[in-house]
Chains A and B, each alone.
Chain A
Amino acid sequence: MNRLEILRFALRGLLANKMRSALTTLGILIGVAAVILLVAVGEGSSQSIQKNIQRLGANTLTISPSFTGGGGGRGGPGGGGGQNTGPRTQARQLTLADAEALADRAAAPSVASVSPVVTAGSATATYEAASHGIGQLVGTYPSYFEAMNRQVARGTYFFNDDVLAARKVMVLGTTVAEELFGDLDPVGRQVSVSGVPFTVVGVLKESGSTGMQDADDVALAPLPAVQQSLTGFGSLGSIVVRATGASATATAQAEVTAVLNQRHGITGTAAADYRILNQATLQETVSEATGTFTVLLAAVAAISLLVGGIGITNIMLVTVTERTREIGIRKAIGAPRGAILGQFLMEATLLSLVGGLSGVLVAFAGTRFTIAGIEPVLVPSSVALALGVSVGIGLFFGGYPANRAAKLRPIQALRHE
């Protein structure tokens, strides 16, 4: 009895009960497809979140003012000296002087660059008849481009000269450029932002929007130019600090903390009046969270695979019980145990393999679609695992009852009702 004949027997056995075989296959198909798809969705969402974070720039710390939990007034006159009325007597805004202090190589050697940032909300830019409310108008230093990982696709960045001279030049994000200029090349043209004319010197590379915010709906201009015309020379919105390397972010954070604590008069347990967002730790936290999310999805999927496996087990049990008499006949005419076992194992393997492979196909097709705003990313190990588990279940639970039946004496099997 060769393999091909065993295969033929198994096929005949399965086709004898088409509906049942189809339903069992379907159970496995759903289980396998669910595992692969859900893991892919988990992986996809995790990757997109990671990408969003990475887009903010690696190695960067973002310092923003924080007034929560503060006890004191807002920089009231003469309040600077007293530190006896609570954890914090006075919350100070971030200033250009803070930024300059951070740029001091001696005090903060791990800091590679410091970019003070002001943002003007609801700035409307117009060019000829077109107008567009810019999502985020940022006034900053040229170092911001590198810190935030933004590159120019057309034209140039603005430079330190432009900052010193407070030139009204601007680098646009692709969304803004498209809204205002359509197919025209914006470089060299003038836009008017809230009535103030700015010359466009460059257009940023598209960074692709994933999630809530369009990262391309931005415009960048020299800090003093924005302050002069739009926000006024008050406090800073935030300070972006780039560390000298990925491993230096922690030291950089410590140095920044030390400098700012000293400048803002924060000692001991007093709550700081600023907040430091560390991209590296943020990334870690988020990847941990998304990892948990993926595991959760995988667990749900694994349960459905298990249910599919129980389906196979059930079918094989029923099939073998139902066909014990047939097994008796086969043994009576001289079938060796191996041939009988082989036939049932082959049936179980075919069921789980056909179900498993179609499950993989369905999952492959499914990952081509965006599911709930997430582009699924296939994880090869999940494919191997799902297939392996489904075939393993088929072999084990198909093999067990078949082996039991094949071991019976022919007359025992023949007498089976």
Chain B
Amino acid sequence: MKQMLEYVHGDSVIHRLNPLVKLLWAFLTCIACFISSNHLFLLGVLLSTVVVAASGSVLARAKGVYKALFILGFLLMLFQLLFTPYGRVYFYILPGVPVTDQGLSFSLLLMLRMMAALSPLSLMLMLTPMNELLTAMTHTLRIPYRYAFVVVTALRFIPTFSREMDQIMQAQRSRGHETDTRNPFKKVKVILPMCIPLLISSVRRIETMAISLETRGFNTGPRSCRKKLGFTRFDALAIIIVMAVLLLSIIIG
């Protein structure tokens, strides 16, 4: 879980793309998935993200993401399936709770959409150095540095937060607290009381981070920037593909 959204260093074509292109890809793909209600289209998009993950050689990490999204999507699908009473009834799961063709089709769509729309976001985070994203936001998009920094740091806090949680759980289980139980109900019972220490320690982390930022001259004047971000043929190609996908989603609906 903790590694799901963290940048993985590499030198693939995807890594070398302009970060804004990757950002555009993540957002437009997400939008396209919500525009389209075509099972095949969504499946296609999902497969294309797998191709991206593979060419960025983060497939092993991405597996975790797909798995998590699948579980989430599956729960959503079940829910939807059970509460769609219209359409042709296949059979009754429980007395009065039918499984229908429309229910099946719609819930499947929901699951596919969920997976196809969210996986590009996490892939983008895995394949883009935060620093480049920051540079792109400040230099190309002209977002003031401090706001851009807040956004990027917020993204970064998701993995940090889960790492923190992992640490506390490790500390607790090494002193005999059963945070490593397999029983999901027990697990929830053990983890819930942890939320408060977790919150407190995260607030602390933000405080110490503020100290570190200030003592290293954050936001004290004009900034230089280490990397020049280029725009290559690959970037152009990527944009064209993304646009085409968006267009396709509008056409086929």
Asked if A pairs with B, the answer is no
Chain B residues in the interface with A (C-beta under 8 A)? none
